Structure 1
């Protein structure tokens, strides 16, 4: 599988970092599996016309993980990764927005295509395979 040309600009993506607090105050993060390889990751996708980056990230959180809540307007960081496309890889630059989860739905658009699960923050950082995302999660305190 070929990679994108080396001089091509990274494609923009947005991701939600769905967070909830346990009764003891510790933070948990929701991860979802990818459709094809079933790796754990954050809900993420392409920017949406007429939506701010944070709003598009909140939309992804609902579609991929069935969660809604209050999204922060400013990203907490960015990372690069190679996205598997049809026959090649494209470099993507992902902006992450924290979503303070208010509700978790039992049904959501991509329920039949993905798994979702809550993890302690450190465990989530260890489970994701993208090195940039792992480093970012390990360096962030929410």
Structure 2
């Protein structure tokens, strides 16, 4: 008669499966860091979230048939009517969250692409749903509502301001 071990041959895959019930890895979002020349320093676009009014970068979920930098350009257009040239190489990432209507927060990792401003349209898909603010770099850092976004901007100041 052979006795079987209840958890396999000493591997801990059962434990990893159990932990997966409690831990969800951050989902990826794509953001546009829209930059335009200002009087004393470059200006950064911040948009408000629709639910809480937090000031963030235009961002959204990756689109399966598009390059990430194209998705960043789409988000800038949809959320703020901004058109420009998007760098195909990501500037970097920061941690964030997606607020849910039930008040919960979903952790996200945000992949950021620089978009050099060309123009801003007077009509765009989310017009009236968000506030769009162009702020000098130093003010944008102060007004951003996420510490990780503030740190990201500080870290990339030389490439932005």
The alpha carbon displacement at 1:126 in A equals 1.1
The alpha carbon displacement at 1:130 in A equals 1.2
Report the counterpart of residue 150 of structure 2 in structure 1: 134
Q: Deviations over 1:66-88 (max 9, x none)?
A: 10110001111111112212432
Say whether 1:115 aligns with 2:125.
Answer: no
Matching of residues 1-142 of structure 1 within 5 Å: 6-22=22-38, 24=39, 26-87=41-102, 88-140=104-156, 141=158, 142=160
More moved, 49-58 vs 77-86: 77-86
Aligned length: 138
CA distance in 2, matches of 1:9, 1:139: 24
- SS of 2:46's equivalent in the other structure is strand
Q: Which has the higher helix share?
A: 2
Q: Deviations over 1:49-74 (max 9, x none)?
A: 11111100100000001101100011
Which ranges of structure 1 fall in alignment gaps of 5 or more residues?
A: none
The structure that has the greater radius of gyration is 2
- SS of 2:70's equivalent in the other structure is helix
Q: Which has the higher strand share?
A: 1
- SS of 2:94's equivalent in the other structure is strand
- SS of 1:137's equivalent in the other structure is helix
Cα contact 1:122–1:138 (8 A) shared by 2:
no
